[in-house]
Structure 1
Amino acid sequence: MTDIARPARRTFMCASAALGSAALLTACGDGHSEADVPDAFPIPEPSGEGQTLMKAKDLPAGSRALAPAKDPSGEDVGVLLFRKDEETVLAYSNICTHQGCAVSPKSSKDDFYCACHGSRFAPADGTVTNGPAIAALPRYAAAIEGEDIVAYITASQ
Structure 2
Amino acid sequence: MTDFARPARRTFMCASAAIGSAALLTACGNGESAVETPEANSIPEPSGEGQVLMPVSDLPVGSRASAPATYPDGSATAVMVFRPDEKTVLAYSNKCTHQGCALTPKSQDENFYCACHGSKFAPKDGTVVAGPAKAALPRYAAEIKDKNIVVYVTADA
TM-score bracket, normalised by the shorter chain, equals: 0.7 to 0.9
Query: Is 1:23 equivalent to 2:28 in the alignment?
Result: no
Q: Which residue of 2 aligns with 1:85?
A: 85
Q: Secondary structure at the match of 1:84?
A: strand
Give the number of aligned pairs: 152
Q: Secondary structure at the match of 1:20?
A: helix
Q: Secondary structure at the match of 2:85?
A: coil
Contact in 2 for aligned 1:105/1:113 (Cα 8 Å): yes
Change (3 A) 1:107 1:8: same
Report the Cα offset of residue 119 of structure 1: 1.1
Moved over 6 A (4+): none
Q: Relative to structure 2, which stretch is displaced further, 26-35 or 37-46?
A: 26-35
Query: Is 1:143 equivalent to 2:143 in the alignment?
Result: yes
Q: Secondary structure at the match of 2:80?
A: strand
Report the Cα offset of residue 13 of structure 1: 3.4
- Please, which runs of 5 or more residues in structure 1 have no aligned partner? 1-6
User: Can you list the C-alpha shifts for 1:134-155, whole angstroms capped at 9, x where unaligned?
Assistant: 1111100000011111000001
Contact in 2 for aligned 1:71/1:156 (Cα 8 Å): no
Q: CA RMSD in A?
A: 1.8
Report the Cα offset of residue 10 of structure 1: 4.9
Q: Which residue of 2 aligns with 1:35?
A: 35
- Residue identity in the other structure for 1:88: T
Q: Which residue of 2 aligns with 1:13?
A: 13
TM-score with structure 1 setting the length:
0.88
